Amino acid sequence: MMKRVLLFAAAKESVGQDSITVELPDTATVADLRKQLVSEYPVIRDLVARSFIAVDQQFASNDVLIADAKEIALIPPVSGG
Amino acid sequence: MVSITHNPIDTAAVLASVKDADCGANVLFVGTTRRMTGKRETTRLEYECYEEMARAKMMSLVDAARDRWPIVKTSIVHRVGVVEIGEASIAVAVSAAHRSASFDAASWLLERLKQEVPVWKREVWADGQEEWIHPQGEAAPVTKDDSDRDSTKATP
């Protein structure tokens, strides 16, 4: 399955795009998505390790399956306020 | 009221929005762009957000604050885009019958917002450097069921 991942802040800047699309098996979890992101975009390896993954706008733990996800985002450590 | 705006924040309007006849304690926090961080000078800040999630997270923080304190009205406004020195990037207003609830709730809301609402700032320094700020440190609480009261730590 193809999954689009929204990028923000330093991740967006490093990759040069506001989203990326990765191919994953249907049984993929958040952890699998992290591995694929790092493998295809080594430039964000360190940031991915410090980021959360949001699935349908909820922070998701690594064991969450993403097959049904409508929107996935990489959430680097936040700095609002 | 929770909102994200590209425009300057009308802080008086944010405070007025929590006014209530039954409230004797109205707290307004305004976060502004600071010129100096130690010896380093900032030219401006630029904020971006994941808007739908940021708004949803702010609303769930307000709900969580209501469960913790007897607060009456709450407003959070976050500005995105360029925020010049001295201008407000965030305003949090809380009203309650008595001051302890409004002070505590406003402080808690701001701390939680800084930890888990998907908003990022880019620091543009006077020395010409620019950088996105992605703090090291404790991870945001992550919830499988969208309850911000759960504090199961997720692994980044």
Model confidence pLDDT, tens digit, residues B45-86: 999 999 999 999 999 999 999 999 999 999 999 999 999 999
Residue range B86-142, pLDDT digits in tens: 999 999 999 999 999 999 999 999 999 999 999 999 999 999 999 999 999 755 545
Choosing among 3.10.20.30, 3.90.1170.40, 1.20.1300.10, 3.30.420.40, the CATH entry for B2-132 is 3.90.1170.40
State the nearest Cα–Cα gap between B40 and chain A, in angstroms.
18
Q: Search chain A and give the residue with CA nearest B91.
A: A81
Q: Taking the alpha carbons of B57, B61, B66, B68 in that order, is the dihedral positive or negative?
A: positive
Nearest residue to A71 (alpha-carbon basis) of B50, B47, B117, B80: B50
Distances (CA, A) of A78 to A6, A74, B49, B148: 15, 11, 9, 16
pLDDT exceeds 70 at position B152: no
Return the number of other C-beta atoms located less than 10 Å from residue B113's C-beta: 22
pLDDT exceeds 90 at position B148: no
For residue A81, the chain B residues in CB contact (below 8 A) are 31, 78, 89-90, 110, 113-114, 119
User: B129 is written with which tokens?
Assistant: 């450097």
Provide mean pLDDT across the span B32-51: 98
pLDDT (0 to 100) of residue B139: 55
Architecture field, domain A2-75: Roll (3.10)
Each domain of chain B, given as residue ranges in start order, spans 2-132
